[in-house]
Chain A
């Protein structure tokens, strides 16, 4: 008899959970952990309906979702990215708002080299967009974007192909792309460099929790896997994905 755990949801959280699940399965023969992606909303709805034992969510829970019990396994920062040729050091929250509302449309307006700004925004409903809106205090109707993208990859590709573009993505995703030579740069936000260490210290202003949520009482196996994810044994996995483990 094989015992199994089904986990669905956020594409941001899934790689970490999948790696941890693999190690967990090796240590506990006879147990299967099935990880499927489909976005934070699916993680929430599957956990609520009981289709999944755990749902993966890469944002804070909204009103109407508080009945779920949530476990934070890591923290991720959302960083502003520009093309590598853009020499700007960083942006304040005020400047970000002005750029995204198109009150400033030239890089010279925020202390950069002259050139038009291409504002890249995420599509409605994305976890990263909600994090960005929470940081800027904007309504999604206030944002006047030039390009709207879906996932992190498309955002990074878009900025890498346009020297005047600005976008925002998960810091982890941006850092691993930079390591691979993609011509983008992470900007400082409010004077804080976009690096995992700053996120860990709680200094970086745009962050989100990576959550596992469940609707009801967890089975012993699910509870064991949850505490495994928060333990020292999976710390290296979380760090290898450039997310910040939660200090226990």
Chain B
């Protein structure tokens, strides 16, 4: 009898916690929608996609084009992934299959430390080191490239640590079997370990990308914040998050509503990304 009751209590607590998580997400989306309502319902939101530029503060010709900023968000995230994913995965393979125990321990510590550094520190470091370095070759230095490098460093530990966990979780008998079949070390890793751990690795990459697309504080300092379509990695760009961070505290009325709407678009984009992943996960990953 008492057991049944503790079961019920536990089940209630767990249900409530799960419900709260879901309700929070819905609540945030609802809040964004309400704040963005003036632009959405007046149809002004079309300016997001018809206006060419983002110049909300102009008195002569205010424009609210968001395309270049969405593009920037995507490009920065992609660049960070291109830089961080190979390094993260290769680093994890080294850590699990090649590194001596003493070194592996230190690698874990350093990655955990890297993951714990606040993003504003990454931003300041990028602004003081990366940006002046790029500036010497391609002024102004604040650029798509600078943002990509800083973000890559920030998501590297996520990717490396999750990949490491996925690789260490492989059953030892599987690896022993591969070795017994006479497979070479690289073949064991590439043909057996990676395919077995691919779900975990993919999850790590997705977590990293999710962080990259939403990262704000570090990016705002190094990306240059010019809302334009970049012609090279050395051009400054302005992702959606930067715009919100730079302008939200200072915006009024219509401008503010546009910023909330931009936030809503970003959330929907992230949701779309997750949806694609879930779909893919169901069939293949």
Contacts and interface: CB of A to CB of B under 8 A. Distances in A.
Interface in B228-266: 236, 238, 245-247, 249-252, 255
Interface stretch (A19-27, A123-131, A169-177, A193-201): A123-131
Contacts of A124: 55-57, 246-247, 250-251, 255
Given A125-B247, A150-B246, A162-B141, A139 B58 contact: yes
B80 interface: no
25 contacts: A38-B249, A41-B250, A41-B251, A118-B135, A123-B246, A123-B250, A124-B55, A124-B57, A124-B247, A125-B250, A125-B252, A140-B55, A140-B57, A140-B59, A141-B53, A141-B55, A141-B58, A141-B60, A145-B226, A146-B140, A147-B225, A148-B238, A149-B225, A154-B127, A161-B131
- Size range of the chain B interface in the assembly: 20 to 34
A14 interface: no
B130 to A, nearest CB: 10
B132 interface: yes
Contacts, number: 94
Given A124-B57, A129-B57, A141-B61, A148 B224 contact: yes
B128 interface: yes
A161 B255 contact: no
Interface string B55-78: 111111101000000000000000
Contact of B220 (A139, A150, A161): A150
B132 A41 contact: no
Interface residues of A, number: 28
B161 interface: no
B162 interface: no
Given A41-B252, A161-B135, 14 more contacts: A38-B249, A39-B249, A40-B250, A124-B255, A125-B251, A129-B57, A139-B58, A140-B55, A140-B59, A141-B53, A146-B236, A147-B226, A157-B221, A162-B140
Interface in B10-68: 53, 55-61, 63
